[in-house]
A and B are shown apart, each in its own frame.
Chain A
Amino acid sequence: MADNAGSPVEFDESTFKPTGTVAVVALFVVVLALLWLSIYLILIARGVTT
């Protein structure tokens, strides 16, 4: 199941810094916070129960 989407290149693994990964994780945290907040606002909008 070979794939031609990307071909191996010379790459020094010892200098690898996962910058893209940090960006993905940061994006995840922001989306998580926004979606959680949106549900929290729905909770608040429904008012208190008595």
Chain B
Amino acid sequence: MLITEPTYQVTKEEKRFIGLHLFFAILALSIGSLFGPLQAFQYSGLDLYPYIEPIFKSYYQGLTLHGVLNALVWTTFFITGFLTLTIIKGLKRPLVYPTLNKVGFWTMVVGLVTTAIPLLLDEATVLYTFYPPLQASSLFYVGLTLVVVGSWIEGYGFFFTYRAWRKENPGVRTPFVSFAALITMALWQGATLGVAVEILTMLLPWSLGWIDGVDPELARTYFWFTGHPLVYFWLLPAYLSWYGMLPKQAGGKLFSDSLARLAFWLFLLLSIPVGFHHQFTDPGIPQGWKYIHAALTYGVAFPSLLTLFTVVASLELAGRKRGGKGLFGWVRALPWGDPSVSAQLLAGILFIFGGIGGITNASYNVNLVVHNTAWIVGHFHLTVATAVTLSFMGISYWLVPYLTGNRLWKPKWAVAQGWIWFVGMIIFSNAMHVLGLLGAPRRTPLGSAPYVPEEWSGHLFRVSFGGAILLVGVILYVVIMVRTAWSKDKLGPDEQVEVPIAEALHDPQRTPAFLDRWRPWLIATVALILIGYGPQLLDMLLNIQLTSPGF
């Protein structure tokens, strides 16, 4: 029988297992990030693709590799590894079925390799959204399915572990970091049903020649059932750190355990039935449903605002405890010299603008100004490539020393790395937003486009310049990680890194019990999905047109 220990020390084997997740995550990031600058340089006419043509065939193959490796692989592997730690450390117990989690992890690795083969052979140049009628090799769809199924299996391991913990701890509030990890995984399990159905019922049989055509509108609807909450699957682990770890690192406490839990429940409740706001220009979706999804998207703004308030209040408390005075003096008093803290603070600052842009995207009418333009690329580089990626980089700066027992290589360089990413992203993302407002399309090699007006040229150059700075930032990150992981500079017995779990300002046992009960929130989530998607999906299925051939 497994017993909950008052202080659980993560074993070497568990650390190695988590570290393997990070290895594959950083490997994917280091390869995927090399293609980002190629796109960015192309914008100002510096097309490097002809020089690598024997290996990589086109701008679009590079764009696909960039999107799949960075947005899907780096995130999913990092998140499953990080959540494994927060489950174990928060619940203060080992995984109840560690073999199950290992099976899940290696299924993800097999899926990654299976996906990589057609990607590298230019047989899956379908971008990360893989919209049909663009058709990939069946291996691409099989591989993606295995990555998702593997992550589901790891999630089941978390749920079984929670169930065991709950039996041993009736009436006790779930420790926040584990609670947040469980909601993130529940959100992922629900959200990925969309792409699972899309791949298994349409794309895979189509790519194998079992059916002649697909219904692109239905496929897009399935994709965005997953696609929008996918953003929250990326974001919630960063929020977990901002709420549950960053206050401790900064010297403070979580300002409100209740508000933090409420925000996570609301993200679970609201982030799935909003996908039609990605399909505002799709003619096959009735306007009424688009309005409903627009309204629900505004609903997601509420937990986002709660997050802004609670995280900033926790940091203000930390800053004031460190001697910060005045309305904003506490900001300066925060430990900006700690690379993990500064990277996450910078990620949060830029994410404020990502949130503001998101409201524009969500507005049915105003969205028409920016839909399918470079604005969208600028927006998600503030969300997934900054709020998420820069936060994960910041987390790595304590996590890798914790897992390996090695001293972080060149901490000052790590601080500089966060700032380099921050500055590069300001230049890159601002230029992309402006280009979008000027009408520049996304997913287009603008350096070769004959219609580019002179007015765009300065902004196109800024995209390239920002991309170059980001390339320096990611190379520096990978070098720091590699030099830390394979370092011989061991931390002394008194220097061991601990997992920074923030204490709440008020006893979590005083948090209302309904914020720690799964049943009502899960029922409400399923009900809202059925209301938000049910009738329209049913209509689309009753009128399905499997007529579109692939190309």
Contact = CB atoms under 8 A, between A and B. Distances in A.
A26 B245 CA distance: 25
A47 interface: no
Contacts of B328: 20, 23
B475 interface: no
A31 B356 contact: yes
A15 to B, nearest CB: 10
Interface in A1-45: 1-9, 11, 13, 16, 18-21, 23-25, 28, 31-32, 35-36, 39-40, 42-43
Contact of A5 (B253, B305, B333, B365): B333
Given A11-B320, A32-B356, A21 B335 contact: no
Nearest to B340: A1
A40 B366 contact: yes
Interface in B285-343: 305, 308-309, 312-313, 316-317, 319-324, 327-328, 330-341
A13 B504 CA distance: 11
Interface in B345-403: 352, 355-357, 359-360, 363, 365-366, 368-370, 397-398
B255 interface: yes
B319 A6 contact: yes
B312 A25 contact: yes
A36 B360 contact: yes
Given A3-B337, A7-B322, A19 B327 contact: yes
Chain A binding surface, main DSSP class: helix
Contact of B369 (A16, A19, A39): A39
B219 interface: no
B334 A18 contact: no
Contacts of B341: 3
A20 B319 CA distance: 11
Contacts of A4: 337
B251 interface: yes
Given A21-B309, A28-B352, A16 B320 contact: yes
Given A20-B330, A21-B316, A36-B356, A42 B255 contact: no
Nearest to A32: B356
B181 interface: no
B120 interface: no
Nearest to A31: B356
Contact of A24 (B312, B335, B355, B363): B312
Contacts of B338: 1-3
A44 B167 CA distance: 59
Interface string B181-203: 00000000000000000000000
A30 to B, nearest CB: 11
B31 interface: no
B423 to A, nearest CB: 20
B437 interface: yes
B515 interface: no
Interface in B412-454: 437
Contacts of B240: none
Contact of B251 (A1, A8, A21, A43): A8
Contacts of B370: 39
A32 B323 contact: no
Contacts of B255: 18
B505 interface: yes
Nearest to A27: B352
B309 A42 contact: no
Contact of B316 (A18, A35, A43): A18
Contacts of B356: 28, 31-32, 35-36
A41 to B, nearest CB: 10
A42 B437 contact: yes
Contact of B324 (A6, A32, A40): A6
Interface of B: 251, 253, 255, 305, 308-309, 312-313, 316-317, 319-324, 327-328, 330-341, 352, 355-357, 359-360, 363, 365-366, 368-370, 397-398, 408, 411, 437, 505
The 5 A-B pairs at the shortest CB distance, nearest first, are namely A6-B322, A6-B333, A3-B335, A18-B313, A3-B337
19 contacts: A1-B338, A1-B339, A5-B332, A5-B334, A5-B335, A5-B336, A6-B335, A7-B323, A9-B322, A13-B253, A13-B321, A18-B312, A18-B313, A18-B317, A20-B316, A36-B363, A39-B360, A39-B366, A43-B366
Given A18-B317, A21-B312, 10 more contacts: A1-B338, A1-B411, A5-B334, A8-B323, A24-B308, A28-B352, A32-B356, A36-B359, A39-B366, A39-B437
